[in-house]
């Protein structure tokens, strides 16, 4: 029998029952459990939190990405520059929009795309650029936006790992035309499931709202509406929004602990000469998980497991999936990063004792 690791790689954060249960009970028996006032309030409060008032909620981050691609003008047959070093939803959303991902290579120091690798992946059919802040380390977004502007292309940020991360001192959520956050179970902030999309252009909000609910304007009289575009059933409901609202009131210290642990690891691993992800000075990561780099990542994983510390690669590089077989290209930066990276726990559940033990375990070698 194997005992579960004492320090897990991921853990669900749920607000204290005393804060959550009365509100949850009230909404469940309110007679209004579909999309209503709590959803609007959650959008407003989430927008306040990330510093962008133009915010749309969805039942998942994947749904938010799909609608972002449509609002960005992506159509069937288009190409979208993306990264294979991510969770599957990033690139399946491109397929949902009928488009094809074109892989930009990643920086082997951190798994993120760069302006240079994106430039090399552009095609005449490229309609948008989708970037992922992998593990919560911000991509060099200013350089990427400058490149995108040269080519007249919209940028979509997949910030599923990066709630609370900053670039140039500003929270992610308002650098690009579209920024997606996932509220799935193990993300920094969970509403059980859900997604948020922040927009630069408020003019896109009405179409975004229609697309997430069958193409129907919910504010209009139901017999007067005209569905002129195929919409989806992607809206958030009041129950998830109420959970999300309560979570939001408790999330700041949780994110702060991810960041404090991440900075502790940065200093500690540098001091003992163990390679970890490097990133530019303008980036302040949200440290969803922490990434070490080693020529023997499997050996390190076994060593950590033997000491009760969970670790893993967490994702399969997406270009290996059959569904993306037609997109394969040489990605030497990703080859190197994927072979060498290992994610270790860094979140709010890693206390002072655990983080010191993690460093000490790594220091002893593997």
- Work out the number of other CB atoms within 10 angstroms of the CB of residue 27: 22
Q: Find the part of the chain contacting ligand PLP (CB under 6 A) among 6-14, 39-47, 87-95, 114-122.
A: 87-95
Smallest distance from the beta carbon of 242 to ligand PLP, in angstroms? 18
Q: Quick check: 176 binds ligand PLP (CB under 6 A)? A: no
Q: Quick check: 112 binds ligand PLP (CB under 6 A)? A: no
Pick the catalytic residue from 11, 187, 233, 313: 187
Strand partners, 129: 81, 155
Nearest to 276 by CA among 289, 264, 294: 294
- Work out the number of other CB atoms within 10 angstroms of the CB of residue 153: 20
Q: Quick check: 244 binds ligand PLP (CB under 6 A)? A: no
Q: Which residues contact 194 (CB under 8 A, 6 or more apart)?
A: 57, 58, 59, 60, 61, 182, 183, 184, 236, 240, 241, 244
From CA 157, how far away is CA 136, in angstroms rounded?
Answer: 12
Q: Quick check: 94 binds ligand PLP (CB under 6 A)? A: no
Name the residue nearer to ligand PLP (CB basis): 132 or 139: 132
Near ligand PLP by CB under 6 A: residue from 52, 60, 176, 237? 60
Smallest distance from the beta carbon of 25 to ligand PLP, in angstroms? 25
Near ligand PLP by CB under 6 A: residue from 89, 140, 177, 262? 89
Phi and psi torsions of 269, nearest 5°: -70, -35
Smallest distance from the beta carbon of 186 to ligand PLP, in angstroms? 8
- Work out the number of other CB atoms within 10 angstroms of the CB of residue 353: 9
Smallest distance from the beta carbon of 217 to ligand PLP, in angstroms? 25
Considering only residues 114-173, where is the footprint of ligand PLP by CB under 6 A? 132, 158, 160-161
Has 11 been annotated as catalytic? Answer: no
Name the residue nearer to ligand PLP (CB basis): 184 or 291: 184
Name the residue nearer to ligand PLP (CB basis): 89 or 285: 89
Query: Six-digit token pair at 146?
Result: 């400058």
Q: Quick check: 92 binds ligand PLP (CB under 6 A)? A: no
- DSSP letters for 196-249: EEEES-GGGHHHHHHHTBTT--TTS-TTT----S---B----HHHHHHHHHHHH
From CA 238, how far away is CA 191, in angstroms rounded?
Answer: 11
* Size of residue set near ligand PLP by CB under 6 A: 15
> Interface with ligand PLP by CB under 6 A: which residues?
60-62, 86-87, 89-90, 132, 158, 160-161, 182, 184, 187, 195
What residues are labeled active site?
Answer: 187
């Amino acid at each position: 029998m194997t005992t579960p690791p004492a320090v897990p790689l991921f853990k669900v954060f749920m607000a204290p029952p005393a804060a959550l249960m009365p509100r949850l009970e009230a909404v469940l028996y309110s007679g209004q459990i579909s999309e209503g006032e709590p959803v609007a309030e959650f959008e407003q409060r989430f927008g306040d939190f990330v510093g962008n008032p133009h915010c749309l909620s969805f039942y998942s981050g994947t749904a938010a990405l799909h609608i972002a691609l449509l609002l960005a003008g992506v159509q069937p047959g288009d190409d979208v520059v993306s990264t294979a070093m991510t969770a599957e939803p990033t690139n399946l959303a491109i397929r949902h929009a009928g488009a094809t991902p074109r892989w930009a290579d990643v920086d082997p120091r951190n798994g993120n795309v760069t302006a240079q690798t994106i430039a090399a992946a552009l095609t005449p059919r490229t309609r948008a650029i989708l970037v992922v802040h992998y593990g919560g380390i911000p991509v060099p977004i200013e350089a990427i936006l400058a490149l995108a502007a040269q080519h007249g292309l919209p940028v979509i940020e997949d910030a599923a790992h990066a709630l609370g991360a900053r670039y140039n001192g500003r929270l992610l959520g308002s650098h690009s035309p579209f920024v997606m956050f996932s509220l799935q179970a193990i993300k920094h902030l969970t509403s059980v499931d859900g997604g948020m999309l922040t927009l630069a252009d408020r003019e896109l909000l009405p179409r975004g709202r229609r697309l997430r609910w069958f193409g129907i304007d919910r504010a209009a009289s139901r017999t007067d509406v005209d569905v002129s575009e195929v919409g989806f059933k992607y809206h958030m409901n009041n129950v998830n929004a109420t959970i999300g609202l309560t979570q939001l009131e408790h999330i700041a210290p949780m994110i702060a602990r991810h960041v404090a642990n991440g900075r502790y690891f940065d200093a500690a691993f540098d001091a003992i000469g163990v390679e970890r992800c490097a990133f530019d000075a303008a980036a302040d990561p949200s440290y969803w998980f922490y990434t070490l780099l080693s020529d023997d990542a499997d050996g390190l994983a076994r060593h950590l497991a033997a000491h009760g510390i969970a670790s893993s690669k967490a994702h399969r590089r997406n270009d290996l999936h059959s569904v993306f077989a037609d997109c394969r290209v040489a990605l030497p930066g990703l080859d190197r990063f994927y072979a060498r990276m290992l994610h270790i726990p860094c979140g709010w559940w890693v206390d002072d004792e655990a983080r010191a033990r993690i460093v000490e375990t790594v220091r002893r070698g593997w």
